[in-house]
Structure 1
Amino acid sequence: MSLKLLLTDASNAIGSAIEHELEREAFNLFVPKPGELDWHKPASVTQYVRLLRPDVVINCAGWEDIPSASQQAQLTLVAQQIAAACAPNNIPLIHLSSYKVFGGDNKSIHSEKDVPEPNSDAGRAFLTAEQSIEQQLTKWIALRLSWVVGSYGENHLSRLLRELVDKQHITVSSRLRGAPTALSDAARVAVAMAKQISCGAENWGVMHYCTSDACSEAEFADQVLQVLKQQQILSESVELDIVDQLPENEPVSAVLSARRVRDYFGIQARTWRPSLLPMVKQWLHSHVDT
């Protein structure tokens, strides 16, 4: 009999990517339908989980690389409720989190041992969600991700593409650093963890994942710009406005040490560069008339 996996949300970018990744796996996937449960009512969530009895849960509700205020509220609410519902039956929970839990320190790379000190509302929401899970569960993973990029959702890539195509101009920082991680790559890691947990893996706590190819925001934007020029979407005269400044309320570095993911689950980091062209083409197909 196939194992049951509960995915709390498949409507956002990362949830959609995870759902797609699970299509090739043997899990019996369940995603709450609209109106099937009320996240504001603990009894509703508890009853849903008790009747379903999933073998593992992946929580990505409210998650976006650049979450809005309403998404931040959903992030903290669902984390609290799903953890409370999983606790009585000790159901393993993989919760997706973010580099945004870190703040304005000068570290070039963050490890799981670093103390989070968020400097934004989004960062505080991600940290509150993590703490809700840690306080209630023994079998939990908070998977923090770096810049998650893709052709859909609100993220660094979609923002760059929108600004470059619509305005043919964007200001980017040479000091801000991250490790662009494709939605499909993040989904691969979450599903790989779920598979190993379903087979008896007992590795818990905070874990980091990002690609092996870190860069500055300016370097990433330049790669995107070159692809747009190659696709003849922008003229050769279009250039970036590069500044030696940091944006407010954003960690200086979104580069994460992925050692625990590698050592405990054997997951190897990939580079983002081969996936950039397909992501840009998909975005153009959806947003630009050609």
Structure 2
Amino acid sequence: MRMRLMLLGGGNALGQALIRLGAEEDIGFLAPRPPDQGWDAPSLTNLLDDNRPDVVINLAYYFDWFQSGHVDEAVLSNQERAVERLAELCQHHQFVLMQPSSYRVFDGARTTAYSEKDEVAPLDARSWALWRMEQSVRALCPRHVLLRFGWLLDDSSHGLMGRFLQRLEQSDELPLADDRRGNPTPVEDAARVILAVLKQLDCQAPLWGTYHYGGHEASTPLVVGQALMAEAAHHRQLKIDTLTAVAHAACTDAADEPQHGVLACKKIFNTFGIKPRAWRTGLPNLLERYYRHG
């Protein structure tokens, strides 16, 4: 790869997956350690002035955006300012900015898959922050790729999947929605997509814009939970043997979580040739890594 790649967030689950996949193809990343307080506008300014990469992959706030149960609004506000500054810096230095986003920018009111042209309608503070950050990137840095992902599953102990697996060993009952839909996406698959996009940008293809990606076969939390439970049973003694189906409206996060968050992935296929992978095929390796860490 001719381009110099800077990865912000190399220590989190998606960053680690990207580094692992890159290493298999001799693609390296400059992955600086964040300051103690995390990346903010001044530290990003110094970092980019000093290092001058060709591409910045911003996974710095991955956990808050994709895995955390709740994010404080003051934290989100600081992240917005940092992303705005990052976009300004990338435009100033003529770097490419790759920025992740989420299905959460939609309200989930429609039952068909969302394309990149559909109107957004965020439901909660995190979703609104993600949408404002998207707008900052578009306005300030024309050379950008915004990647909206579906339900990301990773091997971190405090992530969505980790919290679910822990409850399997501790709870007597675990309710999951059977009328909520999205694209489960193992973190290795998301990393594969990022790497595939980077390779084409390395060929000087000016394919800027917003793209959707989610694992093949839209599903419900109940079905995903059942698949994870079957795989987890190979590793641990579980306290629960069946999951309880409930309505989306009865879930504690119903006001914040889109009921229908399925993403249409035609544009990323037509532009980059990236085909969605079946999410189920990624579960064995994902759980293997999770339990090995634990």
**Fold similarity call, TM over 0.5:** yes
1:69 aligns with 2:59: no
Amino acid at match of 1:62: Y
Amino acid at match of 2:245: I
**1:90 & 1:18 partners in 2: Cα distance?**
23
- Kept in 2, the 8 Å contact 1:147–1:156? The answer is no
Q: Identify the match of residue 160 of structure 2 among 152, 156, 159.
A: 156
**1:49 & 1:75 partners in 2: Cα distance?**
17
Distance 1:17 1:75, change over 3 A: farther
**1:169 & 1:119 partners in 2: Cα distance?**
28
Q: Deviations over 1:140-177 (max 9, x none)?
A: 11100000002215443223212112214311001111
**1:92 & 1:153 partners in 2: Cα distance?**
32
The aligned residue for residue 238 of structure 2 is 234
**1:204 & 1:147 partners in 2: Cα distance?**
23
1:12 aligns with 2:19: no
Q: Identify the match of residue 273 of structure 2 among 266, 274, 277.
A: 266
- Displacement of 1:31 in angstroms is 1.7
**2:36 & 2:224 partners in 1: Cα distance?**
41
- Displacement of 1:125 in angstroms is 1.6
SS at match of 1:29: coil
1:193 aligns with 2:192: no
**1:208 & 1:139 partners in 2: Cα distance?**
17
- Kept in 1, the 8 Å contact 2:99–2:147? The answer is yes
Q: Deviations over 1:15-60 (max 9, x none)?
A: 2222222223444421222439984344x43343133221111111
**1:63 & 1:272 partners in 2: Cα distance?**
20
- Displacement of 1:78 in angstroms is 2.9
- Displacement of 1:86 in angstroms is 0.5
Distance 1:108 1:139, change over 3 A: same
- Kept in 1, the 8 Å contact 2:269–2:275? The answer is yes
Amino acid at match of 1:59: N
Amino acid at match of 1:201: A
1:108-127 to 2 correspondences below 5 Å: 108-127=112-131
- Displacement of 1:213 in angstroms is 1.5
Distance 1:27 1:75, change over 3 A: farther
**1:149 & 1:179 partners in 2: Cα distance?**
10
State the number of aligned residues.
285
RMSD: 2.3
Distance 1:160 1:107, change over 3 A: same
Query: Any stretches of 5+ residues in structure 2 without a counterpart?
Result: none
1:1-290 to 2 correspondences below 5 Å: 2-35=2-35, 39-42=39-42, 44-64=43-63, 65-67=66-68, 68-69=70-71, 72-73=76-77, 75-152=79-156, 154-231=158-235, 233-234=237-238, 238-246=241-249, 247-287=254-294
**2:98 & 2:183 partners in 1: Cα distance?**
21
Q: Deviations over 1:173-208 (max 9, x none)?
A: 011111111111101111111111121111111100
- Kept in 2, the 8 Å contact 1:95–1:141? The answer is yes
Distance 1:22 1:229, change over 3 A: closer
Distance 1:50 1:93, change over 3 A: same
Amino acid at match of 2:129: A
- Displacement of 1:227 in angstroms is 2.3
SS at match of 1:69: coil
What is the aligned-residue identity percentage? 28
- Kept in 2, the 8 Å contact 1:62–1:73? The answer is no
Amino acid at match of 1:132: S
**1:225 & 1:24 partners in 2: Cα distance?**
30
- Displacement of 1:231 in angstroms is 4.4
- Kept in 2, the 8 Å contact 1:90–1:138? The answer is no
